[in-house]
Amino acid sequence: MKYVEAYITKQSRPAGNQNNYYTYDKQTKQFKDMKEFKQWLKEEYGNSKRQTMYRDDKEGNAVKVGYVIGFKDHDYENGKRYTYYESHWIEVVEVKTHNPFIK
């Protein structure tokens, strides 16, 4: 049996500050296939800025492993509006499972 897992790391930083990113959430989501994952990605993030995420393999070649989604958001605290930038790092892997009792 195969399915797709997405590992999502959510980061944020205040507007005007280039250095103070902090991670505030980590999630794992499962999908039956890549088609279902891409549909969720479109519904969840719409037209947000999307960059391809790469990781080096053992030979040093860059391999596509997911996406980094970026967008601007805001929140209110004591009547004052605060703007911040979000980066959601989404790594996608195909998972194969098997029943150890079946030969």
In a domain, 103, yes or no: no
**Residue positions counted in the chain:** 103
Q: How far apart are CA 103 and CA 9, in angstroms?
A: 37
Q: DSSP assignment, residue 18?
A: S
Question: What is the Cα–Cα distance from 17 to 55, expressed in whole angstroms?
Answer: 27
User: Do the domain assignments include residue 39?
Assistant: yes
Domains: count for the chain: 1
Q: Has residue 87 been placed in a domain?
A: yes
Range of the domain at 14: 2-96
Residues 84, 63: Cα–Cα separation, whole Å = 30
> Does 102 fall in a domain?
no
Query: pTM for the whole thing?
Result: 0.83
Amino acid type, 68: V
Asked if residue 91 belongs to a domain, the reply is yes
Handedness of CA 60, 62, 64, 68 (dihedral sign): positive
- Digitized pLDDT (tens) for each residue of the chain, 103 residues in all: 799 999 999 999 998 877 888 999 999 999 999 999 999 999 999 999 999 999 999 999 999 999 999 999 999 989 999 999 999 999 999 999 887 887 7
